[in-house]
Amino acid sequence: MDLGTQTGWALLGRDGAITSGSEPFKPQRFEGGGMRYLRFKRWITEVKQSADGLNAVFFEEVRRHAGVDAAHAYGGFMAHLTAWCEHHQIPYQGVPVGTIKKHATGKGNASKDDMVAAARRLGHAPADDNEADALAILHWAIETQEV
């Protein structure tokens, strides 16, 4: 997962097929500040149910954000994801941004366009850079972890 207001996700099915997408969690008008996180938690649960379970979760581990709002949102999504994984006894791991970019493109400081191009070279058609990042995380996990 590429956590954020627009969360990118990629899933490796039991049959080896990869599905991916990008899910919006922008705060809605007249909605309390925590509702986006409740929608996020409900969405992860739906993904788990539709996938017939999850064996592991890998997410982009961001150490530096351009703005305070992005940092707060990321922290909220990460807190809810890791607590949800703990509750469901699903192993999880954060993967540093530079590690993902270097694995996907050969450059630890690759641009968003570079990441989309890398996903396309692997045969995917990401709708945005969030989905491309999630696909890169999944391919990193497949190639370096016991997935």
d(CA 17, CA 123): 12
The DSSP bridge partners found for residue 19 are 11
| pLDDT value of position 146 | 79
Q: Which stretches of the chain score pLDDT less than 50?
A: none
Closest to 104 in 3D by CA, of 86, 95, 75: 95
What is the model's pLDDT at position 63? 82
CA angle (83 as vertex; 95, 32 as ends), nearest 5:
105
pLDDT at site 6: 95
Looking at residue 67, its pLDDT comes to 78
Long-range pairs for 36-45 at CB < 8 Å and ≥24 separation?
36/5, 36/73, 36/76, 37/76, 37/77, 37/80, 40/7, 40/77, 40/80, 40/81, 41/80, 41/84, 44/81, 44/84, 45/84
